[in-house]
């Protein structure tokens, strides 16, 4: 995944916490629409369709067999029986036209239960990109649950065991509402807050991993609202569920506890090398972990603990200690360019290696970072580059070159094999909501100052274009000769030039 698009930030981040808004049905604009906000780096004739969003959104579309799945918020919710609650929506739209097929509104809270601390109060909506297998989707929901959802929605009936979508969507009591084909269908639900006593910090902002019969999901466990302590250090940061039933079968074994700096927002990933498959997970303690995949059921009714294959500290020792004393972690109210950082971005898996950067909440400010290359099989660090500052981005690799932006607003080009740093460019704006994307030897990246930059993907720096956007762009998605560009206000489907 391209990492930085799910990262939650507290209210102290001023404008940095962006709302995810509903794609309203019927808001598709054709390529000839005079109101198009298509960036100047694309020709008008390349535009297939354009969907108007609300104020902000920062999730990357997930595409599967002609359908696109989006996690958004309910700012512009259009539903006959459900009212806006500052919650979220999982939406399925037609890839060819942008028309809505079904939607699943997810109110902020359920059954009158108020979430702990300031969790789920920032109108983020659904921040999880679905894991898709056959006719099932899996997401980490915005109010602290893991959902298995029918790909077809209610069009093929209400699959169980979960059948109370009317109440889950927040249809008011006394309203006689019958589910329709345009409603989503939950197959099963696992409540992280109740079942494993998780206290997510800000939002649950990660995407789950499917591996065999099991689903791996980050819980988002973290600090209290005053940033004083980990609210429940006994709660897991990683859970494993049976994908067929939603039953809890394993956790990481209370590995993180008070080791968390802030929270845990990186997504688990599967990597296979030398005939061995591992689950790779970036920790909220700044350490990259590899777990043996879960292969058996719970013992004596208790969830098992995953076995650690290896761990690799992505923070250089001098980031953690100075003069025999721990260096304080930077905070929103006490910013520092020094000290250790957690792993927020999703790692990149490439040729038996894992590439990952350390970073912090954008409100903590820029500071020293590190981009690390680790051997998948052994966990041995192959190289690191401290030229890359704190970053929330997932690297992109093309023709042996690695590209990554950092929070300081620089795009870096390195040799993926050796870590040699070829060049960097000051993009004149912070970057935390987007990773770089390489498409046909072009590198696309964008900043919080609403600018998109395009470079030639080469060892020599070559700027191809730079343009102003009407709203901030996040990480694009490429599929079947199309580039899907999400911005805070619109989603564009653009035909790639041949």
Q: What is the pLDDT of residues 408-460, one digit of tens each?
A: 999 999 999 999 999 999 999 999 888 999 998 999 999 999 999 999 999 99
- Looking up tokens 């912090």 gives 360
Q: Is the pLDDT of residue 400 over 90?
A: yes
Does 161 sit behind a cis peptide bond, omega within 30 degrees of 0 on the bond before it?
yes
- Looking up tokens 């079904």 gives 102
| Dist CA 222 CA 236 (whole Å) | 10
Taking only the tens place, the pLDDT of each residue in 149-175 is: 999 999 999 999 999 999 999 999 889
Looking up residue 434, the CATH number of its domain turns out to be: 2.130.10.10
The number of folded domains in the chain is 1
Q: Is 168 left (phi over 0), alpha (psi -120 to 50) or beta?
A: alpha
**Residue 153: strand, helix, or coil:** helix
Question: What b/e string do you get for 466-488 counting C-beta neighbours within 10 Å, with b at 16 or more?
Answer: eeebebbbbbbbbeeebbbbbbb
Segment holding 439, helix H or strand E? strand 437-439
Greatest mean pLDDT among 58-67, 122-131, 436-445, 472-481 lies in 436-445
Return the DSSP state at 204. -
The pLDDT confidence band at residue 28, using thresholds 50, 70 and 90, is: very low
Mean local confidence (pLDDT), 223-228 = 88
| Dist CA 377 CA 271 (whole Å) | 9
The pLDDT assigned to 20 comes to: 26
Show the DSSP H helices in 165-246 as ranges: 165-168, 192-195
Q: Is the pLDDT of residue 146 over 80?
A: yes
Taking only the tens place, the pLDDT of each residue in 169-215 is: 999 988 999 999 999 999 999 999 999 999 999 888 899 999 999 99
Least confident residue range of 28-32, 46-50, 74-78, 352-356? 28-32
The pLDDT assigned to 473 comes to: 85
- Domain hosting 77: range is 3-495
């Amino acid at each position: 995944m391209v990492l930085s698009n799910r990262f939650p930030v507290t209210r102290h981040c001023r404008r940095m916490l962006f709302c995810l808004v509903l794609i309203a049905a019927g808001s598709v604009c054709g390529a000839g629409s005079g109101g198009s906000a298509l960036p100047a780096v694309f020709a008008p004739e390349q535009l297939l369709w354009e969907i108007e969003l609300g104020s902000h959104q920062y999730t990357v579309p997930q595409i599967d067999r002609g359908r696109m799945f989006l996690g958004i918020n309910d700012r512009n919710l259009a539903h006959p029986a459900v009212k806006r609650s500052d919650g979220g929506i999982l939406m399925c739209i037609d890839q060819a036209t942008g028309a809505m097929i079904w939607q699943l509104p997810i109110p902020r809270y359920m059954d009158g239960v108020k979430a702990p601390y300031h969790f789920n109060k920032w109108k983020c909506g659904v921040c999880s990109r679905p894991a898709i297998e056959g006719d099932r989707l899996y997401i980490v929901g915005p109010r602290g649950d893991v959902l298995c959802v029918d790909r077809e929605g209610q069009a093929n009936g209400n699959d169980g065991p979960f059948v109370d979508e009317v109440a889950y969507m927040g249809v008011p009591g006394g309203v006689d509402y019958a589910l329709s084909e345009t409603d989503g269908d939950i197959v099963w639900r696992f409540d992280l807050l109740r079942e494993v006593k998780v206290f997510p910090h800000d939002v649950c902002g990660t995407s789950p991993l499917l591996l065999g019969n099991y689903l791996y999901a980050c819980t988002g466990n973290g600090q209290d609202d005053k940033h004083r302590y980990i609210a429940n250090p006994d709660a897991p940061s990683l859970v494993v569920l049976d994908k067929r039933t939603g039953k809890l079968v394993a956790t990481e074994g209370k590995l993180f506890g008070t080791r968390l700096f802030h929270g845990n927002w990186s997504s688990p990933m599967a990597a296979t090398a030398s005939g061995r498959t591992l689950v790779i997970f970036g920790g909220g303690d700044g350490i990259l972990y590899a777990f043996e995949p879960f292969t058996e059921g719970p013992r004596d009714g208790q969830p098992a603990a995953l076995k650690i294959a290896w761990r690799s500290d992505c923070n250089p020792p001098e980031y953690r200690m100075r003069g025999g004393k721990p260096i304080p972690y930077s905070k929103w109210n006490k910013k520092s360019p020094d000290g250790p950082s957690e792993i927020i971005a999703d790692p990149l898996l490439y040729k038996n290696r894992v590439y990952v950067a350390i970073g912090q909440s954008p409100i903590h400010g820029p500071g020293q970072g590190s981009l690390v290359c680790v051997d998948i099989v052994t966990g041995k660090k192959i190289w690191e580059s401290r030229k890359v500052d704190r970053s929330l981005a997932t690297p992109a690799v093309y023709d042996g070159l690695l590209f990554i932006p950092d929070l300081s607003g620089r795009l870096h080009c390195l040799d993926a094999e050796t870590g040699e740093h070829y060049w960097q460019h000051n993009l004149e704006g912070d970057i935390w909501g987007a990773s770089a994307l390489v498409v046909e030897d072009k590198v696309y990246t964008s900043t919080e100052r609403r600018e998109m930059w395009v470079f030639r993907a080469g060892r020599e720096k070559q700027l191809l274009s730079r343009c102003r956007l009407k709203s901030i762009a996040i990480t694009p998605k490429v599929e079947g000769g199309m580039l899907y560009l999400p911005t805070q206000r619109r989603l564009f489907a653009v035909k790639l030039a041949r």
